[in-house]
Structure 1
Amino acid sequence: MSAAAILILAAGASSRMRGGDKIMEEVAGAPLLTVLTTRALAAGSEVFVALPSADHPRAAALSGLDVTIVPVPDAAEGMARSIACGVAALPVDTSGVMLLPADMPELSQADLTAILRAFAGGMARHVVRGAATDGTAGHPVVFPARCFDDLSALQGDQGARSILNAETDILTVALPAQHALTDLDTPEEWAAWRAKQ
């Protein structure tokens, strides 16, 4: 089996940004999607990025990066479609997949590496989930290959919550501060986050 892949979920509509695009907001001098993808690549795994289409404007943020774009033509049906399309694009011998939401600017290369190491250290058997320092579960989450069929069967916009709720073998990894919980969906959340930086 090959190592776990990373699937960046970047096909959503950013509907709460009132015309803006949250994953194209500037972070550290570049669009968030560029920054997060670069961190994912630096963690050493093969990276797949779910986009509404291969020629979507967000694809410009991936120019020159060694990633596989996964088109999700029915992305409007919800996050489940991005997950299903992403799982279908993985090499057949992939041991697991990290689901990485594209709107989490605090997740670092070190965070992603820590999650992947925990997954590999558990012989790719456990679901591994990032958590805040107080233990509150968050993202990213790595699912072993045994979960791929369930991931492919998901529907709607709840992500993989139903699988996590049914799963009894979850290893949580504490990440610094609120890295595992900080997702920014609205202009107000972006403004508040920037004010704290």
Structure 2
Amino acid sequence: MTRRVTALVLAAGRSSRTAPRHKLLARDASGTPMIARTLAELRRSRVTATVVVLGHRADDIRGAAGADARFVTNPDPDHGLSSSLRAGLAAAMADDPDGVLVCLGDMPLVRAELIDRVLDTWSASRAMACQPTHGTVRGHPVLWSRDLLPRLTTLQGDQGARSLLDAPDVVVATCPGGPACVTDFDTPDRLDAFASMP
């Protein structure tokens, strides 16, 4: 039986480190916005639905997305990553998925093949979560089983989910992710590099 996974893309941040440019609106050499590239790979993968959490520059990002996705708005994007997780999980759980794949909008090098590898590893292992790695570095996206979703909603501020991945009662499967799973584009230099990518 195929397990249903909803992708949750976090795209609500202010992008202050790349100001005045917004990283998700940056374009590659072909003119494709970063957020559109990220969502295109999810569309090519085997996830069953995609939810995008918007906040700052919501209308611009929605317009640039160019993908079939459901958009929700984080009413308090300045209250940290956890507020985006809560807003997105509320929408994702309405699909009654077996798991939720938490993705970052500024990681356009993550391809459908890697996404599907995370799904396959998680399905085969029956672990509570699955995370790609590059060497000893843990990366993204991270797949969470439905049993862990209520615990994700209890995170506060900029507290990421790493503490939950490190909890002694949480079994985490890993799979090779390569450099893509640890490469984000959140500095001016990285945006310049993205602009030259085909």
Alignment pair present for 1:130 and 2:121: no
> How many equivalent residue pairs?
193
Give the counterpart of 2:62 among 12, 37, 59.
59
Q: Is the 8 A contact 2:101 2:142 kept in 1?
A: yes
C-alpha contact 1:75 1:81 (8 A) present in aligned 2: yes
| Structure 2 gap ranges (5+) | none
Report if aligned partners of 1:54, 1:70 keep a CA contact under 8 Å in 2. no
Select between 179-188 and 87-96 the one with higher mean Cα deviation: 87-96
User: RMSD across aligned C-alpha pairs, in angstroms?
Assistant: 2.2
Alpha-carbon distance between aligned partners in 2 of 1:158 and 1:195, rounded to the nearest angstrom: 33
Instruction: Pick closer, same or farther for the CA change 1:151–1:62 going to 2, 3 Å.
Output: same
Residue from 85, 88, 96 that aligns with 1:86 = 88
Stretch moving more, 24-33 or 159-168: 159-168
CA contact (8 A) 1:48 1:69 kept: yes
Tell me the SS of whatever aligns to 1:139. Answer: coil
Q: What residue is the counterpart of 1:72 in the other structure?
A: 74
- Cα 1:55/1:11, change in 2 over 3 Å: closer
- Give the drift of 1:191: 2.8
% identity of equivalent residues: 27
Letter aligned with residue 137 of structure 2:
T
* 1:189 Cα deviation after fit: 2.5
Q: Give SS of 2:182's match.
A: coil
Q: Which residue of 1 aligns with 2:162?
A: 161
One-letter identity of the residue aligned with 1:116: L
TM-score of the two chains, using structure 1 as the length reference = 0.89
TM-score (norm 2): 0.88
Change beyond 3 A, Cα 1:19–1:54: closer
Structure 1 position 23, deviation (Å): 1.2
Whether 1:118 and 2:140 are equivalent positions in the alignment is no
* Uncovered stretches (5+) of structure 1, i.e. residues with no partner: none
